[in-house]
Amino acid sequence: MLEPNGPLPPEIYWRRRALAIGALVVALALVIWLVLTVSRGGDSPGDSKPVAASSSSSTASKPADASTTKAAEPSESGTPAPSSAASSASNEPAAGAGQCPDQSLAIKISVDQPTYRVGEQPNFRIVITNISSVMCQRDMNLAQIQASVLSLDGQRRFWTSSDCSPVDESNARNLKPGEQALFTVRWSGTTSQQGCVGERVPVPAGAYQVIAQFGSLHSSPEPFNLTTT
């Protein structure tokens, strides 16, 4: 049977027009997307602009730690020995670096253990820090850096590192803000007098303290003990 060839219903015409308009909108959207992609040069979404890295001194934010840096062998004679852990402090003259006044420096001394047996040789660690906000230079002459063992009340002096080991040589250091210079000294465990006069005898068991001095700077005392067992 043949179908009639009369005009189609109006809703069929509207449906076809809607489909044609939709296809045109989709095609236009694709063209716009392609144009935008080409204009951006094909950059990857993960790319970012290079950022200048800030520069800071590692010693200013984190003091050198004895467990992660190898110190120079302490001096047998009692003279403070510069530590390799202080390698960041430059010995070369720095342009524009002024003299470090005492008020721009801090000094600290520590012991490697709280108790020693009589006859052992304690090691002391001296740290000098630039606590100012500018780089400065200071002659850290080893003759001026001293460690002294005193009675616990501080009234009696038993030993000073410079008594028998006077050293007078220039040791200029450039210290950035927060930077440290480290020194180690070994005590023989015996007494001493200025000029190394008199007999040197073993210090008996008891409670003692050690202090460090650099010019007019003095550290806080650090206590330790000597025992017979």
pLDDT tens for each residue of 90-106: 555 555 579 999 999 99
- Res. 61: pLDDT tops 50: no
CATH number of the CATH domain containing 84: 2.60.40.10
Domain range holding 130?
62-227
pLDDT digits (tens, 9 = 90+) for 135-186: 999 999 888 899 999 999 999 999 999 998 766 778 899 999 999 999 999 9
Tell me: do 32 and 111 sit in the same domain: no
pLDDT averaged over every residue in the chain? 77
Most confident of 45-54, 55-64, 180-189: 180-189
In a domain, 88, yes or no: yes
Q: State the pLDDT at residue 31.
A: 74
Tell me: do 25 and 94 sit in the same domain: no
In a domain, 45, yes or no: no
**CA 101 – CA 93 distance, rounded (Å):** 17
Tell me: do 66 and 28 sit in the same domain: no
- Residue 57 DSSP label: -
In a domain, 54, yes or no: no
Residues contacting residue 83 through CB under 8 Å, at least 6 positions apart: 69, 71, 72, 125, 182, 183, 184
In a domain, 29, yes or no: yes
pTM over 0.85: no
In a domain, 137, yes or no: yes
- Residue 94 DSSP label: P
Tell me: do 99 and 156 sit in the same domain: yes
